[in-house]
């Protein structure tokens, strides 16, 4: 019999801080934003690109000074930023990562990827990467965790540009399920030739500071940042509540946004449903707002599909650039500040609306009655995520909405929702596993193996041959499980993990630019330098629009993935979920996938 899960009604954000090109800490960042000051500057050639490039860079001198004071000069630049942000949250809250009920979750797209550049100048890859190099995201996390004496393994989520929002949703679910009482979520990314050359290869970087939603917009501005927040069940009237969250996929394209916005609209609606929030409760939307032509078009359509056409929208990226895996964390922090201040922050540089569906965007800060806000994010691999953040008074009304809904109709995956003090107890359907697919390098060399495995499926998808090897491995493994599976797109999810992230393809991209320069970067290679793109390829093939999350950890832990999948499925949105380990590096590969299904038996 399934164990009953207890879901705390209130998940408070009780401490937070951020570091960006605007400064170190909340006061410096707010002062800059209040005064319409951007941290995006022209960076000299050779720093992060072969040519001068506009970007929001964190002050090297100030970081070095703070690292010396904290005696962390032996850590990488990325690790120093994480340690500084996490330490500030600990100082504010008294949280202790040495306690078994307190965990640390990191979100990042590339972590210490800048370390690859020194190595590729000397030798080929990936053979020369040591097994415990901090280029591996799990090793970076381990080093940071060891600094704080963390009792629990530090987890990493690498889900492209939704990583930060995804991590907040995962942490919320961990606390709701009783796994932890407190979770520090930290998100960070820094800029390097690796990053900038890839975005330049897509011709998505503007020569001017980015102008989201404006008719003159022509691309994004890159930035670097790090932020951290503490989530817990104990809070007060001064703390914002993370009241809802959802993750979806477009199932449309691995590098281009959906042309309809339906994937993002699905995440927004599910987040609002979980929060019990109505359209009239939403004071503003802080959208992804990259200022690329198609992203902003898609968001305008998604906002309308979600029934939020009259809600003011802003983007904060003109202040510090697109900060990749940090963006969801630092922009959530600034949403918190807007809710508390009762002030909407203007979108810097905006003048004339230039998206197909009308939305309300202001260039200047606006006083505004606040209840709740929505934070959205979208990224490569077709992934989307949305959060609802609520003031405590507004959340009390949302709680009443949820209770009324529960009494009117029983949730599809639950027999009962029973109030008990500070929690809601959900008795989920039982979950059964449907077979397991296992591939490993003991079979044969990867190239002949994957050709034969794909040929055996009897498919004729020419795009398969353009994928990188990690995606080919995951695609074939999932196909063997899902070829006879039929569910609606929003009822299927996929949660994967590995140890090397996308390092096999990362090395190929780095080797190209190290040998031939940044301009030689190939978008066909760069798009696969994110591990979650394997999720995107699978989602496109099987029209999966439900949960899609990618963890990076030292070794396979099927029980942990299954436990998290059960938490997600208990919420009632998924009827089937693929979980698995999908590892490929230097010719060594292993894929172990399992399908979990909700079954009709409901336990009392």
Q: Using an 8 Å Cβ cutoff, are 31 and 337 in contact?
A: no
What number of helices (H) and strands (E) belong to the chain? 18, 24
Q: Using an 8 Å Cβ cutoff, are 120 and 170 in contact?
A: no
Question: How many percent of the chain have pLDDT more than 70?
Answer: 89
Conformational region of residue 328, where left means phi above 0, alpha means psi within -120 to 50, and beta covers everything else: alpha
- Given CA atoms 403, 407, 409, 412 in this order, what sign does their dihedral have? positive
Mean pLDDT of 129-143: 94
Q: How many CB atoms lie within 10 A of CB 417?
A: 17
Q: Which residue bears the tokens 């399920």?
A: 177
Given a cut of 90, is residue 409 above it in pLDDT?
no
Write the pLDDT tens digit of every residue in 358-388.
999 999 999 999 999 999 999 999 999 999 9
CA of 263: how far to CAs of 239, 301, 490, in Å? 30, 11, 9
Given a cut of 60, is residue 188 above it in pLDDT?
yes
Q: Using an 8 Å Cβ cutoff, are 297 and 355 in contact?
A: yes
Write the pLDDT tens digit of every residue in 159-183.
999 999 999 999 999 999 999 999 9
Mean pLDDT of 280-292: 98
Helix then strand then coil, % of the chain, to nearest 5: 40, 25, 35
The set of residues, in sequence order, having a beta carbon less than 8 Å from that of 416 and lying 6+ positions away, is: 410, 425, 426, 427, 604
Given a cut of 60, is residue 124 above it in pLDDT?
no
What whole-number distance in Å separates Cα of residue 10 and Cα of residue 244?
Answer: 10
Which 8-state DSSP code applies to residue 134? T
Mean pLDDT of 521-526: 96
Q: Which pLDDT does position 128 carry in this prediction?
A: 66
Question: How many percent of the chain have pLDDT more than 90?
Answer: 82
Write the pLDDT tens digit of every residue in 464-477.
999 999 999 999 99
> Quick one: which of 204, 400, 387 has its CA closest to 284?
387
Q: Which pLDDT band holds residue 439 (cuts at 50, 70, 90)?
A: confident
What whole-number distance in Å separates Cα of residue 241 and Cα of residue 233?
Answer: 9
Given a cut of 90, is residue 400 above it in pLDDT?
no
Greater pLDDT, 96 or 8? 96
Given a cut of 60, is residue 502 above it in pLDDT?
yes
Q: Which pLDDT does position 201 carry in this prediction?
A: 97
What whole-number distance in Å separates Cα of residue 298 and Cα of residue 294?
Answer: 6
Mean pLDDT of 16-28: 98
| Tokens at 443, concatenated | 């079979």
Q: Which pLDDT does position 436 carry in this prediction?
A: 78
Strands 240-249 and 12-20: antiparallel
Q: Which pLDDT does position 401 carry in this prediction?
A: 63
CA quadruple 397, 403, 409, 412: dihedral, nearest 10: 100
Q: Which pLDDT band holds residue 440 (cuts at 50, 70, 90)?
A: confident
pTM for the whole structure: 0.92
| Cis before 126 (ω within 30) | yes
Q: Which pLDDT does position 406 carry in this prediction?
A: 52
Lowest-pLDDT range, 100-109, 112-121, 177-186, 293-302? 112-121
What whole-number distance in Å separates Cα of residue 72 and Cα of residue 83?
Answer: 8
- DSSP H helical segments within 276-416, as ranges? 293-305, 317-320, 327-341, 392-408
Mean pLDDT of the residues in the chain:
90
Buried b (16+ CB within 10 A) or exposed e, 23-40: bbebeebbebbeeeebbb
Burial class (CB in 10 A: 0-12, 13-18, 19+), 287: buried
Write the pLDDT tens digit of every residue in 329-347.
999 999 999 999 999 999 9
Mean pLDDT of 210-230: 98
Q: Which pLDDT does position 422 carry in this prediction?
A: 35
β-bridge partners, 325: none
Q: Using an 8 Å Cβ cutoff, are 528 and 468 in contact?
A: yes
Q: Which pLDDT does position 395 carry in this prediction?
A: 65
What whole-number distance in Å separates Cα of residue 174 and Cα of residue 576?
Answer: 20
Q: Which pLDDT does position 78 carry in this prediction?
A: 98
What whole-number distance in Å separates Cα of residue 189 and Cα of residue 195?
Answer: 10
Given a cut of 70, is residue 68 above it in pLDDT?
yes
What whole-number distance in Å separates Cα of residue 471 and Cα of residue 493?
Answer: 17
Given a cut of 60, is residue 215 above it in pLDDT?
yes
Q: Which pLDDT band holds residue 403 (cuts at 50, 70, 90)?
A: low
Given a cut of 80, is residue 308 above it in pLDDT?
yes
Q: Which pLDDT does position 404 carry in this prediction?
A: 57
Given a cut of 50, is residue 301 above it in pLDDT?
yes
Q: Using an 8 Å Cβ cutoff, are 210 and 316 in contact?
A: no
Buried b (16+ CB within 10 A) or exposed e, 85-106: bbbbbbeebebebeeeebbbbb
| Tokens at 523, concatenated | 């978008």
Strands 576-585 and 492-498: parallel
What whole-number distance in Å separates Cα of residue 581 and Cα of residue 138?
Answer: 14
Distance of CA 399 to the CA centre of its chain: 26
What whole-number distance in Å separates Cα of residue 486 and Cα of residue 474?
Answer: 19
- Given CA atoms 278, 281, 284, 287 in this order, what sign does their dihedral have? negative
What whole-number distance in Å separates Cα of residue 260 and Cα of residue 258?
Answer: 5
Q: Which residue bears the tokens 């077709």?
A: 382
What whole-number distance in Å separates Cα of residue 542 and Cα of residue 457?
Answer: 14
> Quick one: which of 548, 551, 526, 552 has its CA closest to 537?
548
> Quick one: which of 388, 225, 220 has its CA closest to 315?
220
145: part of which helix (H) or strand (E)?
helix 137-147
Mean pLDDT of 53-60: 98
What whole-number distance in Å separates Cα of residue 385 and Cα of residue 264?
Answer: 7
DSSP states along 180-219? -SEEEEEEEE---HHHHHHHHHTT-B-SS---TTBTT---
What whole-number distance in Å separates Cα of residue 544 and Cα of residue 497?
Answer: 18
- Given CA atoms 165, 144, 40, 521 in this order, what sign does their dihedral have? negative
Question: Three-state SS for 466?
Answer: helix
Q: Which pLDDT does position 486 carry in this prediction?
A: 84
- What Rg do the C-alpha atoms of the chain give, in angstroms? 22
């Amino acid at each position: 019999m399934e164990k009953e899960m207890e879901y705390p009604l209130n998940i408070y954000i009780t401490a937070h801080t951020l570091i960006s090109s605007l400064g170190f800490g909340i006061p410096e960042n707010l002062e800059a934003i209040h005064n319409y000051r951007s941290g995006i500057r022209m960076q000299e050639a050779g720093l992060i690109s072969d040519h001068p490039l506009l970007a929001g860079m964190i002050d090297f001198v100030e970081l070095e000074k703070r690292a010396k004071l904290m005696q962390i000069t032996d850590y990488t630049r990325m690790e120093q930023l994480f340690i500084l942000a996490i330490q500030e949250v600990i100082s504010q809250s008294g949280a202790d990562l040495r306690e078994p009920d307190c965990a640390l979750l990191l979100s990042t797209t590339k972590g210490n990827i800048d370390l690859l550049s020194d190595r590729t100048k000397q030798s080929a890859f990936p053979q020369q990467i040591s097994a415990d190099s901090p280029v591996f995201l799990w090793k970076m996390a381990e080093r940071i965790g060891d600094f704080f004496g963390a009792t629990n393994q530090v987890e990493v989520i690498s889900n492209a540009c939704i990583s930060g929002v995804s991590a907040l949703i995962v942490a919320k679910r961990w606390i709701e399920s009783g796994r932890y009482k407190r979770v520090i979520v930290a998100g960070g990314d820094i800029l390097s030739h690796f990053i900038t050359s890839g975005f330049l290869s897509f011709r998505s970087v503007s020569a001017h500071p980015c102008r989201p939603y404006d008719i003159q917009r022509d691309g994004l501005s890159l930035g670097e940042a790090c932020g951290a927040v503490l989530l817990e069940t104990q809070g007060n009237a001064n703390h914002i509540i993370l009241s809802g969250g959802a993750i979806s996929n477009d199932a449309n394209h691995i590098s281009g946004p959906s042309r309809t916005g339906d994937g993002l609209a699905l995440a927004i609606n599910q987040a609002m449903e979980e929060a019990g929030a109505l359209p009239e409760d939403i004071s503003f939307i802080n959208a992804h707002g990259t200022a690329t032509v198609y992203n902003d078009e898609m968001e305008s359509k998604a906002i309308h599909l979600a029934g939020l056409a009259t809600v003011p929208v802003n983007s904060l990226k003109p202040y510090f650039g697109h900060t990749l895996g940090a963006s969801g964390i630092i922009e959530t922090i600034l949403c918190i500040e807007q809710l508390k201040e009762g002030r909407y922050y203007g979108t810097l540089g905006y003048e004339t609306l230039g998206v197909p569906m009308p939305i309300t965007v202001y260039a200047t800060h606006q006083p505004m009655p606040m209840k709740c806000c929505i934070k959205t994010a979208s990224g490569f691999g077709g992934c989307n995520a949305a959060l609802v953040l609520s003031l405590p008074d507004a959340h009390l009304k949302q709680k009443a909405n949820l209770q009324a809904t529960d009494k009117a109709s029983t949730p599809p995956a639950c027999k009962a929702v029973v109030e008990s003090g500070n929690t809601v107890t959900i008795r989920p359907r039982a979950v059964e596993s449907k077979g397991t697919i296992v591939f490993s390098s003991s079979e044969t060399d990867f190239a002949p193996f994957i050709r034969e495995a794909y040929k055996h499926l009897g498919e004729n998808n020419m795009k398969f041959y353009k994928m990188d090897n990690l995606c080919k491995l995951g695609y074939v493994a999932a196909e063997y499980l899902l070829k006879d599976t039929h569910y609606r797109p929003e009822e299927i999810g996929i949660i994967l993990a590995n140890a090397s992230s996308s390092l096999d393809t990362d090395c190929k991209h780095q080797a190209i630019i190290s040998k031939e320069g940044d301009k030689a970067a190939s978008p066909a290679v760069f798009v696969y330098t994110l591990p979650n793109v394997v999720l995107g390829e699978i989602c496109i093939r099987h029209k999966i629009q439900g949960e899609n999350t990618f963890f990076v950890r030292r070794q396979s832990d099927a029980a942990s993935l299954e436990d998290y999948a059960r938490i997600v499925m208990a919420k009632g949105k998924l009827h089937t979920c693929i979980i698995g380990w999908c590892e490929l590096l230097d010719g060594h590969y292993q894929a172990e996938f399992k399908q979990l299904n909700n079954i009709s038996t409901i336990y009392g």
